[in-house]
Amino acid sequence: MKASFKLAAAFAALALVIGIGATLLFAAAAPVLAAAPSGATASPGTDAWGPGLLAAALVTAMAALGAGFAVARVGTAAVGALAEKPELFGRLLILVGLAEGIAIYGLIVSILILNRLA
């Protein structure tokens, strides 16, 4: 029970940090939102800025949470396997790298969303 409580506390702390980061992102983007051109046809209207920034923040946050969970699971198994067979280091490093790729994909999607808003 203690291990699951520690995991839940770690996820709660990570969610708090991501929430604070998203709040700071919204606060920093407020002057940009006020000066956004509304007459351009290629960019969405000013009504799309709020949900667009929220979507970008949520994509980044959920991808980071998923990657953290995946790295925790794969990393634990990798350390256990590495203790028994040290020659598996290269293969295990690839598996952990694939788990970290989830966060990179989320960041790319977030950048694409922000690029569409600009």
pLDDT tens string 7-46: 666 766 776 677 677 667 766 666 665 555 555 554 555 6
- Contacts (Cβ under 8 Å, ≥6 apart) of 54: 22
Report d(CA 95, CA 87) in Å as an integer. 14
pLDDT in tens, 80-118: 999 999 999 999 999 988 988 888 998 899 899 888 887
User: The domain spanning residue 45 has which CATH number?
Assistant: 1.20.120
Domain ranges, residue 111: 2-117
Report d(CA 100, CA 61) in Å as an integer. 14
Q: Give me 104's structure tokens.
A: 């990179």
pLDDT at site 76: 87
Is the pLDDT score of 64 beyond 90?
no
What is the domain count for the chain?
A: 1
pLDDT at site 94: 92
Is the pLDDT score of 79 beyond 80?
yes
Report d(CA 11, CA 1) in Å as an integer. 16
Split at pLDDT 50, 70, 90, the class of 52 is: confident
Is the pLDDT score of 73 beyond 60?
yes
DSSP string, 54-104: HHHHHHHHHHHHHHHHHHHHHHHHHHHHHHH-GGGHHHHHHHHHHHHHHHH
pLDDT at site 10: 73
Report d(CA 115, CA 104) in Å as an integer. 16
